[in-house]
Amino acid sequence: MKIKKRKIKYATIFFICWFALMVFLVDGVLKFQTLVDYFGSYALVEVSLLLLVILPTLAVYKLTKEQ
């Protein structure tokens, strides 16, 4: 199996930027506790936020083309 370095590089860059944006939005703007109070479940909010970071990162990895 050949490691696709370019795909991993772009997915990692996207992951770091997207994760930083999500942390800023959730901790700074929306306030995490407010989300927990609104949805009523800490686990639901955590899983949703993890999926909002992981799924787009996987999409970037899949859609990046190798040269």
Residues 10-62 have pLDDT tens digits of 999 999 999 999 999 998 898 889 989 999 999 999 999 999 999 999 999 99
Element of type H or E holding 34: helix 32-39
Question: Residue 1 pLDDT > 70, yes or no?
Answer: no
- Please tell me the predicted confidence (pLDDT) of residue 4: 81
Q: Which residues lie below 8 Å from residue 64, measured CB to CB, with a gap of 6+?
A: 6, 7, 10, 11
Rounded CA-CA distance 24/38 in Å is: 19
pLDDT band at 65 (very low <50, low <70, confident <90, very high): confident
pLDDT band at 6 (very low <50, low <70, confident <90, very high): confident
- Please tell me the predicted confidence (pLDDT) of residue 22: 92
